Structures are given as structure tokens and as C-alpha cells.
């Protein structure tokens, strides 16, 4: 079978869906690999590095012959017309609210898979793109905050006086939040964090940060079976806001990462809260692409809101593209391997596999995922 690795068409996407390492792996699985020329350049991977591992360098036209297309982002309608019917397409599909684009892939006869719908089970841990990318985003959020902050992060006791440590507050202690806590700690900040899932409490404490949350009955039941947060009631949100308002006024840097799958991000930081912070404070909103946790955040920009620098960079994992691509590519190839028959070395979709069921958006000309208008049975 032939695998085509596309060069991303979105100018805001520097990542790539294969690395030299994963090309080697695909060759070992018995696959032929074509890399679109220049696909890896923004991730610092020259074409020659792919060639050395046995890939052929091609053009967008090579997609037409491919049995498998690997991408970072969902293909545009234009890209879809360049794929053959029956091809497998694997990417971060951003399916919520994009039903028309899913329909387009169905009509084109593609078997499309959304990596972000991968179940969070042990077997699929090495295919978990949300984790691999969020981990880097959490790290980069602290680096971005430090770069905008006009003060030093660690406490410095010098002959000329003492610089106090920065106080960093992380809201949402999932994968990104925990990495943000760890990174801020490494830079010497005094770190606190909040979440609505009780499991987060111990994880935050184990990283040496203080946990702050409204720990009522609703909090005790806020984690879904899948490990995600539930949307909280208006009453809980009001209690949370009151607690957070007092705390934020004493912080120098706030990093927000709170998400609820398939919904707009919860609004956690108001203009009034920003106003209560010291001049020169910094806030980073990692949820900006889902509407944002911070009032006044602008996607792709650093804006001043009530005297606070509010950082709304989009695609934060892409800001560390060379690292992000290596992990993303590994996630993809591990999933692809489950689709390859060990005997024939050909593509053989196991439609009853739980990973396939959870991630397959379209197949056989139809939308098949139950969350997007399809029916599985």
C-alpha cells in the first residue's frame, strides 16, 4: 500500500505528519511512502532526511494514488478532490462544528479518522495526540509568558537586593496544565493551580504546586468515565469565580487550559479579575481556539486587557513544531500499524476495533460516527 504525507496547506500549521523515524517504521511495515516536497521544512526536517529512510519525494499530485494520506489538519475540500475514493485519511480533524467538511469527506468515499477522538485507554496511550501536543503546549505557554513578563521568574537574592519569585496560577490541570506547572516550577516560580476534577488535586500537589478549588459535592462528581471534566452548574461557576477572584489579584502570571470536549471553553477569567492584577501581569489562554477562558483574549494576538498582557497564540504546539511533529508522527504511525495486516502487509481496516470505532468519521460514502450524524450499527 502507498502512504502519502502531505505538506500542510494552512500557513499557520508548521507541523508535519511524518518524521524520518516514522518513515523507517512504515517501510518496515511493508508500506511505500511518498512525502510531498518540503512537507517537513517548518519542522526542520529536510526532504533528504526522509529520502535516506526510503521515502520518495513527490508532489501533491501523488496523493491521487495513495491508499493512506497522513496529515496534521483536516484536508480542505480542494485537497479532498485530489484523493482516491476508498483512501484512508488520518489527521486532527477538528470535527465539532465542521459537519459540512465531514460530509465532503464522506461523499468523496474517504475512510477518515480523527486522531483527537482516540479513547484514553492504556492501549491507545501511544496514539494520544491530545496528550502529546498538549504537553508541549503547556511547556510553551510558560515560555511565552516568561518572554512577555518584564520581571524575573525566580527569586534572586543579590547584593543589590532581592527580586521576588513570580506567582503563577494555572487554571485547568490536565495534560497541558500539569506541564505548565512543572515548567513554571523549573523556572523558580511559586505555582498554584485549580481544576474541577478531584483527581487533579493530588497531581498538582505532587508537582509542588498549591491546589485551589471549590471542593463541594459537585466537584466530587465532576470527572466523566472518560476522564474529562463535565460542564459545571451556574452555581458552581459562581462559587469558583469568587474563590478565583481573590486569588488572581495576588498573581503575576495566569495560564488557562480549561476545556470540555465538544463544547466551548468555560469562561474563567473576567475583565474585573484582570483589572485586579498588578501592572505588567501576563495571562496565557491555551483554550483560545475553543472560544477562550479569558475575557478579551484574541486568537493569534497578544493584547492589553485592563493592563494585563493577554496572550492568545493559536496552535501553541506548532510553536515548538520540530518537537511536536516528532511526537505527532509517532502517534500516527502507531495507529496506522493497527490497520495493516501482518500477513499480507496490506491495509485491512478492522471495523469492530474500538480504536477504529471511536475515531472513524466517514466510511463507505457515509458519515459513520454517532456524534456527527452517523449511526454505527
Helix residue ranges, H only, the chain:
20-28, 47-52, 77-81, 99-107, 129-148, 175-186, 199-206, 217-220, 234-248, 271-275, 321-337, 354-359
Nearer to ligand NAD (CB atom), residue 113 or residue 169: 169
Is 83 among the catalytic positions?
A: no
Contacts of 343 by beta carbon, 8 Å cutoff, 6+ apart: none
CB of 160 to ligand NAD, least distance (A): 40
Q: How many helices (H) and strands (E) does the chain have?
A: 12, 17
The catalytically annotated residue of 151, 228, 270, 341 is 228
CB of 244 to ligand NAD, least distance (A): 9
Is 228 among the catalytic positions?
A: yes
Chain contacts with ligand NAD (rule: CB under 6 A): 120, 125, 128, 130-131, 134, 171-177, 194-197, 199-200, 227-229, 232, 257-261, 266, 268
CB of 222 to ligand NAD, least distance (A): 7
CB of 287 to ligand NAD, least distance (A): 8
Nearer to ligand NAD (CB atom), residue 42 or residue 194: 194
**Quick one: which of 119, 130, 13 has its CA closest to 72?**
13
Is 328 among the catalytic positions?
A: no
The catalytically annotated residue of 62, 128, 195, 252 is 128
The catalytically annotated residue of 131, 203, 240, 281 is 131
Is 120 among the catalytic positions?
A: yes
The catalytically annotated residue of 44, 77, 123, 125 is 125
Q: Are strands 88-92 and 2-5 parallel, antiparallel or unpaired?
A: unpaired
Residue of minimal CB distance from ligand NAD? 174
Q: What is the per-residue DSSP string for 244-287?
A: HHHHHTT-SEEEE----TTSPPPP-B-HHHHHTSPTT-EEEETT
Nearer to ligand NAD (CB atom), residue 20 or residue 174: 174
CA distances from 9 to 55, 107, 287, 367 (A): 21, 21, 23, 24
Nearer to ligand NAD (CB atom), residue 9 or residue 238: 238
CB of 10 to ligand NAD, least distance (A): 22
Nearer to ligand NAD (CB atom), residue 195 or residue 252: 195
CB of 155 to ligand NAD, least distance (A): 28
Q: Is 69 exposed, middle or buried (0-12, 13-18, 19+ CB in 10 A)?
A: buried
Is 150 among the catalytic positions?
A: no
78-107 burial code (b ≥16 CB/10 A, e <16): ebbebbeeebbbbbbbebeeeeebbbbbbe
Cβ-contact 183, 139 below 8 angstroms: yes
Nearer to ligand NAD (CB atom), residue 13 or residue 128: 128
Across-strand partners of 308?
Answer: 305
Which residue is associated with the grid cell 499480507? 344
Contacts of 341 by beta carbon, 8 Å cutoff, 6+ apart: 347, 348
The catalytically annotated residue of 120, 123, 186, 263 is 120
Nearer to ligand NAD (CB atom), residue 55 or residue 273: 273
> Which residues are tagged catalytic?
120, 125, 128, 131, 228
Amino acid at each position: 500500500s502507498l502512504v502519502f504525507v502531505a505538506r500542510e496547506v494552512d500557513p499557520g500549521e508548521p507541523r508535519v505528519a511524518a518524521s524520518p523515524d516514522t518513515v523507517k517504521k512504515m517501510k518496515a511495515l511493508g508500506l511505500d511512502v511518498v512525502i510531498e516536497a518540503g512537507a517537513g521544512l517548518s519542522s526542520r526536517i529536510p526532504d533528504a532526511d526522509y529520502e535516506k529512510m526510503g521515502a520518495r519525494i513527490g508532489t501533491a499530485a501523488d496523493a491521487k494514488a495513495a491508499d493512506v494520506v497522513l496529515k496534521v489538519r483536516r484536508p480542505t475540500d480542494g485537497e479532498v478532490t485530489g484523493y482516491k475514493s476508498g483512501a484512508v485519511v488520518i489527521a486532527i480533524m477538528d470535527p465539532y462544528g465542521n459537519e459540512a467538511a465531514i460530509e465532503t469527506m464522506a461523499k468523496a468515499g474517504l475512510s477518515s479518522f480523527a486522531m483527537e477522538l482516540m479513547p484514553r485507554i492504556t492501549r491507545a496511550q501511544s496514539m494520544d495526540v491530545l496528550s502529546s501536543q498538549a504537553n508541549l503546549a503547556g511547556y510553551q505557554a510558560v515560555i511565552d509568558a516568561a518572554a512577555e513578563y518584564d520581571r524575573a521568574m525566580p527569586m534572586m537574592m543579590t547584593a543589590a537586593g532581592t527580586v521576588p519569585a513570580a506567582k503563577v496560577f494555572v487554571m485547568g490541570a490536565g495534560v497541558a496544565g500539569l506541564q505548565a506547572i512543572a515548567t513554571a516550577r523549573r523556572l523558580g516560580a511559586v505555582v498554584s493551580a485549580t481544576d474541577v476534577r478531584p483527581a487533579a488535586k493530588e497531581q498538582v500537589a505532587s508537582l509542588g504546586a498549591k491546589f485551589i478549588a471549590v471542593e463541594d459535592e459537585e466537584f466530587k462528581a465532576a470527572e466523566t468515565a472518560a476522564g474529562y471534566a463535565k460542564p459545571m452548574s451556574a452555581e458552581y461557576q459562581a462559587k469558583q469565580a469568587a474563590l478565583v477572584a481573590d486569588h488572581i489579584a495576588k498573581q503575576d502570571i495566569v495560564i488557562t487550559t480549561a476545556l470540555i470536549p465538544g463544547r466551548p471553553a468555560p469562561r474563567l477569567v473576567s475583565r474585573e479579575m484582570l483589572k485586579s492584577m498588578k501592572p505588567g501581569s501576563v495571562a496565557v489562554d491555551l483554550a483560545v481556539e475553543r472560544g477562550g477562558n479569558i475575557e478579551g483574549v484574541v486568537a493569534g494576538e497578544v493584547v492589553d486587557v485592563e493592563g494585563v498582557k493577554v496572550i492568545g497564540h493559536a496552535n501553541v504546539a506548532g510553536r515548538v513544531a520540530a518537537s511536536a511533529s516528532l511526537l505527532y508522527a509517532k502517534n500516527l504511525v502507531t495507529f496506522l500499524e493497527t490497520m495493516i495486516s501482518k500477513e499480507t502487509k496490506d491495509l485491512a481496516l478492522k471495523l469492530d476495533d474500538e480504536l477504529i470505532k471511536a475515531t472513524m468519521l466517514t466510511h463507505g460514502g457515509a458519515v459513520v460516527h454517532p456524534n456527527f450524524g452517523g449511526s454505527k450499527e
